[in-house]
Structure 1
Amino acid sequence: MTRHCMKSKQRAQCEQLQQVRMKLLAVVALVAGLAGVAARGGDEHVETCVFEKLSGQDAKFCRGDLEVFYPELGDVGCTYIPKCNQYRKRISKEWSRPQIVYPQADKNKKYVLIMADPDAPSRANPKYRFWRHWVVIDIKGIDLRAGNLKGRVLTEYGRPTPPSRSGYHRYQFRLYEQPAHEAIALSPEEEASLGSWPLERFVERFRLGSPAAATQFLTQHPSD
């Protein structure tokens, strides 16, 4: 009777050990499978979604640590918008205005923000430069530091929409210190059209001077 009980206990222990081993093997297989999926996904991301920085003269335009944040992309300053994950389509059709941050803003000053496309309808033939996409004045420095853009909007934000087969367009952001007591406004002619905007004359008219900071990103039509 005792020997029979011992054998039964041994069989039970063996079965329990086998069950534990099977569970451990299953866990190891699951972990290995997930690691393989993660590795493949990581390789795919690296191959298809490269955030390329601008170079040459395009890179020289960027100065002063002005930051432009879009959802999922982060700060797009001085970069090409990648085609992966439909980013070019989403920046043109879905996402609203970006968050603008200027950490070096003077708390006691006001600023003017201008977003414009100098490549309308194309960089090779910019006969409609500059295309006005966004103009905001009376922006407080303390708000710029916090990325909480407030001010008086002269031109509502217009998404980047480069025409098909027109190549890359530069979307430029210029931030100016606003002169005290300067009444800045668009003329009736300027309000009538977004294209062929004389940006330089606007800057001279209101004595804005050189930008305190500037940046840009490049993108093209999603189907190109």
Structure 2
Amino acid sequence: MKLLMAVILILGLMVMVAGRLPKNEDRMCVYRKLSQRDALFCKGNLKVIYPEIGDVGCMYVPECNGFRQKIGSWGKPSIKYSQAHENKKYILMMVDPDAPSRNNPKNRYWRHWLIVNIGGDGLKTGNISGHELTGYQPPSPPPQTGFHRYQFILFEQPEKGKPITLSSEEKAKRGSWSISDFIKHFHLGSPVAANQFLTQNYHDF
């Protein structure tokens, strides 16, 4: 009996390492990692956690279980950064650099979420709270536009300086947002962590 249990445990671990979880008796759900090029964006152990899937950082959203459709209707993910300092504040942005497509990103960066004054204690546990400058908008890649990158970028918020806000022009639209100008204007420096996942319209696979 002990030998049988050991074999079952080993087989289960092999399935998990391979990144495959069963959907039902006749189909497997494959969790595919990003290419080496896209994986370079991921740094700092920032976790982006959605229901059912779990941490989607540095991977393709699987097509099984309706995940590519569901992620477009789920609410905001849980964001966890275990290295956060409890006495510091942070800024999180979620953007799509591939709007409307990676081959023709004329509306980059599309701002899906922007939240400031995030407490470090919440980041450590994954229960963030702060002031939303742009409310969360789920991933919504248009049909026939291929895979889109959805990027999460975390900055340590400066303790001094001007209040961090969006201009009236920025508030008027989400697309064609200049991240570089925003970072430079508020002296944010380099991000402390970043992550991304890729997905496409659920009708396209």
TM-score by length of 1: 0.79
Does the alignment pair 1:115 with 2:94?
A: yes
Does the alignment pair 1:172 with 2:154?
A: no
1:45: how far off? 3.7
Equivalent residue in structure 1 for 2:51, among 63, 71, 82: 71
Alignment of 1:155-194 (within 5 A): 155-182=134-161, 183-194=163-174
Distance in 1 separating the partners of 2:96 and 2:36: 18
Does the alignment pair 1:142 with 2:121?
A: yes
Q: What is the identity, as a one-letter code, of the residue corresponding to 2:63?
A: K
1:146: how far off? 1.1
Instruction: Report the aligned-residue RMSD.
Output: 1.3
Does the alignment pair 1:132 with 2:101?
A: no
State the match for 2:10 in structure 1: none
Structure 2: any 5+ residue segments left out of the alignment?
Answer: 1-21
Equivalent residue in structure 2 for 1:44, among 10, 20, 26: 26
What is the aligned length?
Answer: 182
Secondary structure of the corresponding residue to residue 197 of structure 2: strand
Structure 1: any 5+ residue segments left out of the alignment?
Answer: 1-39
State the match for 1:6 in structure 2: none
More strand by share: 2
Does the alignment pair 1:101 with 2:85?
A: no
Name the % identity. 54
State the match for 1:207 in structure 2: 187
More helix by share: 1
Secondary structure of the corresponding residue to residue 203 of structure 1: helix
1:43: how far off? 6.1
Distance in 2 separating the partners of 1:45 and 1:101: 31
Does the alignment pair 1:154 with 2:133?
A: yes
TM-score by length of 2: 0.86
